[in-house]
Amino acid sequence: MAIQSHPLAWSAPANPDLTRGQRIGVLLSHGFTGSPVSMRPWAEFLHEHGYAVEVPCLPGHGTTWQEMNGTAWDDWYAEVTAAFARLRATCDQVFVCGLSMGGGLALRLAAERPGDVAGLVLVNPAVNSVDPRLRVVPALKRVVKGFPGIGNDIKKKGVDEHGYNKVPLRALASMLEGWKSLRPRLGEVKAPLLLIRSTVDHVVDPSSARIILGGVGSADVREELLTDSYHVATLDNDAPHLFEESLAFIRRLSV
């Protein structure tokens, strides 16, 4: 196992003996103000089944929310593409998984590299919000640095995703602009898609799933609902089911 430069980032090599001789990679991207902690159990599960995994720590995450305010959508995307390139250089196929904002970054990658992304697994992905408070963020970011945090939306007791307790507004404004530029490009996404969504999510409203499912150009699309988890489903009660569904999806599409 090789650890990335950031102490929270995590990676592990492929074991072709467990994947019919194929070197299959999986990139997992965490969400806004979160950290790789939210993805590590999923990554470890996939690695145990023979897959190479990369869980990058997005710039500005895993440090302080003030530092995150100096980063933006394109910085986070650049880190995702760098991790994808590492996997693509050594693997026969690469799948991309994302939680929340990580799902939006995964969709952008699939839109820009349709021939390289073998499949997408998105968990409570975010590309939109109907929250009216977000309308004032572009102006408010000039006078207010942060709002109360949105982390730890987890039904399972005693679980901590190790996210920030404040939302950095400049970073939030950048994410909203990223969503705005991404939505018109969803038709360019051709990769098979498994969208896994919690029926109760206090962070991402159902509009994102509707937009994604109605907008992607993928011919192979399936939605899976989780009834015993909130937003951070990768650490919640339904996590084992989520992991198994993603494994079945990847196995089906591996050639």
User: Active-site residue numbers?
Assistant: 100, 201, 231
- Residue written as token pair 């929310």: 65
Sign of the alpha-carbon torsion through 179, 182, 183, 186: negative
Angle (CA) 209 9 243, round 5°? 45
Separation of alpha carbons 175 and 96, rounded Å = 19
> Pick from 94, 82, 83: which is nearest to 54 by CA?
83
Yes or no: say if 150 and 122 are a contact pair by the CB < 8 Å rule. Answer: no
Phi, psi of 13 (to 5 degrees): -80, 165
Phi, psi of 82 (to 5 degrees): -65, -45
Separation of alpha carbons 144 and 8, rounded Å = 28
Separation of alpha carbons 36 and 43, rounded Å = 10
Yes or no: say if 61 and 38 are a contact pair by the CB < 8 Å rule. Answer: no
Phi, psi of 61 (to 5 degrees): -100, 155
**Which helix (H) or strand (E) segment is 98 a member of?**
strand 93-99
